[in-house]
Amino acid sequence: MEIKTSTDKGITVIELTGSLDSNTSPAAQEKLLPMIVNKCCFILDLSQCTYISSAGLRVLLMLAKQLTASEGKLALTGLCAEIQDVMETTGFSSFFVSYKTVDEALSSFKC
């Protein structure tokens, strides 16, 4: 798992590459959760993420909950068919705003 961050229009864009599973979730959690500050906005680009396990879903849920608690927002982008299916099957798709691309999210996502 590789995590790259950048900022665009005041929004933190986080690109995850590889699998978000039981092996990589602790490191992702350790890196992402401390980035949350009051009223921050994240776009999580999953276009290079090939797999999410239940441990990875737990990290996404923790991230969303902490962002909500700090009055922040989160959007997901680039979900491949497999990850989209997992999100819909588990009901997680109802918790997250999702866009096809980072550019679409940047132009539509209100922070």
Per residue in 50-108, pLDDT (tens digit) is: 999 999 999 999 999 999 999 999 999 999 999 999 999 999 999 899 999 999 999 99
pLDDT at 65: 95
- Write out the DSSP string of 63-103: HHHHHHHTT-EEEEE---HHHHHHHHHHTGGGTSEEESSHH
* Residue 62 counted as domain residue: yes
Task: Give the Cα separation of 110 and 5 in Å (integer).
Answer: 19
Using 50, 70 and 90 to split pLDDT, how confident is the model at 30? very high
Q: What is the CATH number of the domain that holds 34?
A: 3.30.750.24
The domain tally of the chain equals 1
Residue 9 scores a pLDDT above 90? no
Residue 56 lies in a domain: yes
- Gap between the Cα atoms of 97 and 12, Å rounded: 15
- Assess if residue 110 is contained within a domain: no
Whether 109 is covered by a domain: the verdict is: no
Query: By residue range, what is the domain housing residue 67?
Result: 2-103
Q: What is the pLDDT of residue 36?
A: 96
- Number of separate helices (H) and strands (E) present in the chain: 4, 5
Residue 44 lies in a domain: yes
